Structure 1
Amino acid sequence: MPVVESRLTVPLEPELAFWVSQTTAPLRYRWDPFVRSQHLLDGATRPAQGVRTATTSRHGLRMVSRYVSFAPPRNVGMTMVSGPWFFARFGGGWRFTPGAQPGTTDVTWRYNFATRPRLLEPLADRLGRWVLQRDIDRRIAGYARGCSDPVVLTAAREAAAAG
């Protein structure tokens, strides 16, 4: 299954770095260039394991995903419940580890996917790697900007305090 990932180090402790990644609309739009709209489903008010999320990308593609792991401040993972026809499977996750310098966090964002139809898989996988790598690199760069945005940081601190 193809995998793409992007990594960086941010000048935040892992707990706060984690919660920046979990900001929801409308704050998410301040830093995430991929998301046109996003909201939690089924009456959920905060991200958590089992919660479903509806996302529309800047490309106009829609996906419903479900949190399969949610372990602040270490990691979070999601899998596609329904989405674009060309994905047979899609998943993504964040990992947060203390950085080499005090007060920093190494962040890894990873996608894995399978394309369809199977006959076109070699070409579709290559195209998917290219498109998704560009998107994930842009998203993690936006995330880095979010890690210095005072409005996003305030919301992340509140989410961390709420647990």
Structure 2
Amino acid sequence: MPNVTSTVIVPVDPTTAFAVAQTTGDVRLRWDPFIRRQYFLGGATDPAVGVQTYTRHRWGLGMVSEYVSYAPPTNVGMKMVRGPWFFSQLAGGWRFAPTDGGTKATWKYSFHCRPTWLAPLAEAIGRRVLQRDIDRRIAGFARGCRDEVVLASVRDAGGEAT
């Protein structure tokens, strides 16, 4: 399965980094260039294993994804349940580990494209496009970990911010 990974060191503790990565609404839009809109489905108000979310990408593509792991403050994983026709599978995982001066955040996407006969070319293009997207997204996340509005929101929600 093709995958792309991006890593950054942020100047906050893992609990805060994890909380920033899980922000929603206008706070999320302050730092996440990937999304135009995102919300929980099925009446859920908090992330947890089995909870689904709807995400509209900045290009207008929509996707329903489901939490497959949720272990604050160390990791979260999601898989696509329904999404763009050209993905037969798409999953993402985020890990947070303490390091000198903050937290090492590693984000990874894994995917398969369809149709099968086009997959080798589509996946080569997908690697480039998704690598650019994940690099921009993690750079936005790093900015969010320095943004006083985002950090205040995390503090107000019960997360730490240092």
TM, length-normalised to structure 2: 0.95
> SS of the counterpart of 1:64?
strand
Aligned residues between the structures: 160
Question: For structure 2, which runs of at least 5 residues remain unmatched after alignment?
Answer: none
The whole-number CA distance in structure 2 between the counterparts of 1:15 and 1:26 is 21
Partner of residue 115, structure 1: 113
Any residues of structure 2 matched to 1:25-44 within 5 Å, and which? 25-44=25-44
The whole-number CA distance in structure 1 between the counterparts of 2:131 and 2:159 is 33
The whole-number CA distance in structure 1 between the counterparts of 2:95 and 2:23 is 16
> SS of the counterpart of 2:43?
coil
> SS of the counterpart of 2:112?
strand
| Shift of residue 47, structure 1, vs aligned partner | 1.4
Aligned-pair Cα RMSD in Å: 1.2
| Shift of residue 160, structure 1, vs aligned partner | 4.0
Question: For structure 1, which runs of at least 5 residues remain unmatched after alignment?
Answer: none
| Shift of residue 159, structure 1, vs aligned partner | 3.4
The whole-number CA distance in structure 2 between the counterparts of 1:159 and 1:49 is 20
8 A Cα contact 2:16 2:159, kept in partner: no
Question: Where in structure 1 do 4 or more consecutive aligned residues deviate above 6 Å?
Answer: none
8 A Cα contact 2:5 2:106, kept in partner: yes
After superposition, the C-alpha distances for 1:68-111 in whole angstroms (9 at most, x for unaligned) are: 00000000000000000000000001000011x14x00000000
| Shift of residue 157, structure 1, vs aligned partner | 2.4
Question: In percent, how many aligned pairs have the same letter?
Answer: 59
> SS of the counterpart of 2:73?
coil
Partner of residue 86, structure 1: 86
